[in-house]
Structure 1
Amino acid sequence: MRILLAIDESESSHRAVKYVGSLLHRTPDVAITIFHVLKPMPRGLLEHGGSESPAVEAQMDQQLHKDQEDWIRKQRESQCHVLQSACQTLKDSGFDIQRVTLKFGHEDDIARNILEEARGHETIVVGRHGMSRIKRLFGGGVTDQILRDAKGFAIWIVE
């Protein structure tokens, strides 16, 4: 069984990690992917201004790609503690961290990024943040989007 554990830096995510670790630490056939979505890439790194010259255009494309990779690398380094902390929480619960994979995403649409990463997993686990009545009424929030759009997954929501 493969579980995608989608986390952020919130207390509800921490509770979800603790819950999964305490529930599944003695289940040897479970593999967990801990997944954290980075903040969206700045607009200035999404595209360049373009050029009439194919040679200049190619050079601008190459530089943009390098700048995007540098930004992603820096974000991963700065957010690595989120994944490491979750992994340590699983380890502290007795879960064998040899069965844990750490991964990052980096898209604007967090829920869509989680659902794309969930391919190949049977279960998605998320923590639910507190939300206002208005958001709850109109179905806002990442967890609600996952509930609405996920097909073919078991979904665990930890509050």
Structure 2
Amino acid sequence: MRILLAVDESENSHRAARYVGSLLRRTPDVSLTLFHVLKPMPRGLLEHGGSEDPATEAQLGGRLRDEQQAWIRKERESECQVLKGVCETLGQSGFDTSRVSKQFGHEDDIARNILEEAHSGQYETIVVGRYGTSLAKRLFGGGVTDQLLRDAKGFAIWVVE
């Protein structure tokens, strides 16, 4: 069984990790992936100014890709503590952390990024802690969890509150 646990730096993520770890610690055929979506890429790294000259355009495009990859590496390093902390929480709950892998996403739309990872990684289950949302978002379905519940077809969704 493949489970995707979407996490952030919140206590809700640690609560979800404790729940999953406690529930599945004696289930050896479960593999768990911790998935954290990085903050959005700065606008300056989304596109370059462009050029009429094809050689200059290629050079600008190459430099932009290098800068994007450097930004992603830097963000992964700085956000790695989020995944380490949740992994420690899993271990404290009795879950064998050798069955845990870690992945990052880096798009503006967190829910869409989680769903893309779930599809590409062929997970059966997505677990999320209830993300902190305002009353208005909860009432009108604008939160990450609500979007996952609405759009995740073919997955079991566990929402840990």
Same fold (TM over 0.5): yes
Provide the C-alpha distance between the structure 2 equivalents of 1:132 and 1:40, rounded to a whole number of angstroms: 21
Structure 2 residue ranges without an equivalent (≥5):
none
Please tell me the residue identity of whatever aligns with 1:49. G
Deviation at 1:130, TM superposition (A): 3.6
What secondary structure, in the 3-state scheme, does the structure 1 residue paired with 2:104 have? strand
Deviation at 1:138, TM superposition (A): 1.0
Other-structure match for 2:139? 137
The total of aligned residue pairs comes to 159
| 1:11 match | 11
Per the normalisation by structure 2, the TM-score is: 0.96
Task: Output one character per residue of 1:127-158: Cα deviation in whole Å (capped at 9) or x when no partner.
Answer: 01343321112101100000000000000001
One of 119, 125, 128 as aligned partner of 2:130: 128
Three-state SS of the structure 1 residue aligned to 2:89 is helix
Q: CA–CA distance in 1 between the matches of 2:81 and 2:138?
A: 30
Instruction: Provide the TM-score with structure 1 as the length reference.
Output: 0.97
Amino acid at match of 1:156: W
Q: Distance in 1 between matches of 2:96 and 2:14?
A: 18
Matching of residues 33-44 of structure 1 within 5 Å: 33-44=33-44
**1:70 and 2:80 aligned:** no
**% same residue:** 74
Give the letter aligned to residue 89 of structure 1.
Answer: T
Equivalent residue letter for 2:153: K
Residue 63 of structure 2: SS of its match in structure 1? helix
List structure 1 runs of 4+ shifted beyond 2 angstroms: 129-133
Output the CA distance in 1 between the equivalents of 2:135 and 2:37: 25
Q: How far apart, CA to CA, are the structure 2 residues paired with 1:113 and 1:134?
A: 23
The alignment yields a C-alpha RMSD, in angstroms, of 0.8
Q: What SS does structure 2 have at the residue aligned with 1:137?
A: helix
